[in-house]
Amino acid sequence: MPTQALLLLFLLCELLLQAQGGHRKPKTMQKIEVCEKHTNIYMCRRPCEYHQDCQANSICCSTFCGNICMSLQ
């Protein structure tokens, strides 16, 4: 009887996980690369850690002052 109760509890927990969206997958982040364009000291005011930190049409790239958001244009 205790085995059946544990199995029922396990199935109930699994159903609750499914109702909440299932198991979470780890986020895959794009690698931050060195900026291809020339940078100046004023661009260092826009720090970032991930590409998602930057506005549209901008990427996060590495410079002499750390990672910054740089326009793709």
pLDDT in tens, 21-44: 555 566 666 788 999 888 889 989
Contacting residues for 10 by C-beta, under 8 A, at least 6 apart: none
Is residue 31 within 8 A of residue 50, CB to CB? The reply is no
pLDDT (0 to 100) of residue 26 = 60
Instruction: Tell me the residue type at 15.
Output: L
Residue 54, CA distances (Å) to 9, 39, 57, 59, 63 in order = 45, 16, 8, 6, 15
pLDDT > 90 fraction of the chain, expressed in percent and rounded: 38
What's the mean per-residue pLDDT of the chain?
82
Q: Tally the residues of the chain.
A: 73
